[in-house]
Amino acid sequence: PPPPPPPPGVTLPNIIFVITDDQDVLLNSFDAMPNFRKLMIEKGTTMSNFFVDVPVCCPSRTSFLSGRYAHNNGAIKVDGKPSSDWCGTKIFWKGPLQEYSLPVYMKAAGYRTGIFGKELNVVDEKYISPGWDRYFALIDECKYFGNSFADNGKRTTFDSTDYMTTIISNTSQQWLQQHLPRNESNPWPVFAYIAPHAPHQPAQPDIPNERAFSNLTAPRTPPWNISAPDHHWLISQQQPLSALDADESDEMFRRRWRTLISVDDMIRDLITTLEDVGELNRTYILYSSDHGYHLGQWRIPAHKELAYETDIRVPFVIRGPGVKQNATIQNIGANIDIAVTLADIAGYTIPREAQVDGISLKSLLITTSESEYAGREEFLFEHQGGDIRPVPGTCGTAWMKPGGFPSFSGLCSCGNPMQHWLTSRNNSYVGLRVINSTLNVKLVLYNDSVNFVELFDLSTDPYEITNLAGRSDYMQLQQMLTTRLDSLRACGAQPGQNGSSVICP
């Protein structure tokens, strides 16, 4: 059934949130997306300092949906199997906290709601997460052709020639055309959560795009293939990239860009659909990613999960009524702010028992907003690592096998027993990122046998090359940041209303 109609005289905006998977912002991924640049960046506002609290897919998405830090929503890791602790399965997905999540808020605000694509890493085809009117969630996340979807309580499987991003695009637009335009007999606004899996590995492009960008290589940014002995174990022990490592990293870069061509087409078609039904001018479109990515930085051929800017900094662009065009905002925003911001745009007050950690960015992003911007100068990020190392095999084959999940055997250095670790158990950390008028810094505390610390001054070292931790001239800053980080990481330790976490100060 549709939600209650909006109050008389109230016209709520449509809201569409597009979230990709593993899309970087620092390795120039938008250069693969000319439609996006023209229709979103030039027509909207970019937040250049937008971050995620966990640089891994499912935990970050849970923070987007819940508005809570990972240590407060329970989805702090992905352990590689659908067990009871898989990305907070027991706590968030199918758990009590899912009743306090973005789709529930939007439904309560009077929206028709639909999800199209990747929700979390675990999908039950017979289950529909609370708040969704249309539930079309990706089942096999790493299969770009012939995928299956949990489709409002049943499994829908597509032909082996049907491309995943195109399926998500077409299905979401059909739903929009079904419920728009609004009129007296159909007064409900729509909230669509559109989540293509691109450019996540194996980054298999649609057939027409298989040879695009063939002459390009991954950006050789300053951390690319460098020795960093003053960084934590995972980085300091990395062996140099071989020529084969670099070639395969470059091929993954090209494949990622090729998959983004289809996302770019989806954005073009989405905006065309909204124009055709006469709703574009009263629709907010937001675009982000669950985390970033690195390709050769720190001598790791391709992965995520690091505490560095490549992995925790993500795209964020918004267009819509009252949003400045071709503008950039330097303020910090984070994934935990999205649920709060969209509820605010929808005119919905999140109940106190939800105990969200995020703040609303509405007044920062929308010039006509009457909301008060609380301001954010810092945020906490965290991760619980696990061992991922290439298995012995024939280099250059398994990683690039179309249609299958990569085994990473192609990421080894042939003949070199010191294969590249992609992540490790001691790549577990909690960190603090601060940007204000006087500071642009990052502190990372690792949960390892030596309690390793990293401190970077990004105002002079934007690529995090030099670890300042332990230096006498930075000790006062390190102590101050540690105290603040301890305060943030402790929030939630004491039960708040309804037994949930206390609000982070």
The per-residue DSSP string of 86-110 comes to GGGTTTTTTSGGGGSSHHHHHHHTT
Spatial CB neighbours of 464, under 8 Å, sequence gap ≥ 6: 223, 308, 309, 442, 454, 456, 458
- Six-digit token pair at 292? 């970033």
Q: Largest Cα–Cα distance in the chain?
A: 72
347: left (phi over 0), alpha (psi -120 to 50) or beta: left
Greater confidence, 210 or 501? 210
pLDDT at 90: 56
Tens of pLDDT along 5-27?
A: 666 666 899 999 999 999 999 99
pTM for this predicted structure: 0.91
Give me the mean pLDDT over the 177-184 stretch. 94
- Pick from 50, 402, 408: which is nearest to 258 by CA? 402
DSSP designation for 347: T
- Six-digit token pair at 284? 């907010």
Bond before 205 cis per omega within 30 degrees: no
pLDDT at 87: 63
pLDDT at 79: 56
Whether 57 is catalytic: yes
pLDDT at 8: 65
What amino acid is encoded at 233 in this protein?
A: W
- Pick from 6, 79, 161: which is nearest to 384 by CA? 79
The CB density around residue 125, as the number of other CB atoms within 10 Å, is 16
Tens of pLDDT along 136-151?
A: 999 877 789 999 999 9
Catalytic residue among 57, 58, 87, 412: 57
Q: Please tell me the distance from the alpha carbon of residue 36 to that of residue 45, in angstroms, as a whole number.
A: 12
Q: Is 156 helix (H, G, I), strand (E, B) or coil?
A: strand
Tens of pLDDT along 289-325?
A: 999 999 999 999 999 999 999 999 999 999 999 999 9
DSSP labels, 465-479: -S--TT-GGGHHHHH
- Pick from 315, 264, 324: which is nearest to 43 by CA? 324
pLDDT at 235 over 80: yes
Spatial CB neighbours of 183, under 8 Å, sequence gap ≥ 6: none
Greater confidence, 108 or 88? 108
Of the pLDDT bands very low, low, confident and very high (cuts 50, 70, 90), residue 500 is very low
Give me the mean pLDDT over the 195-204 stretch. 94
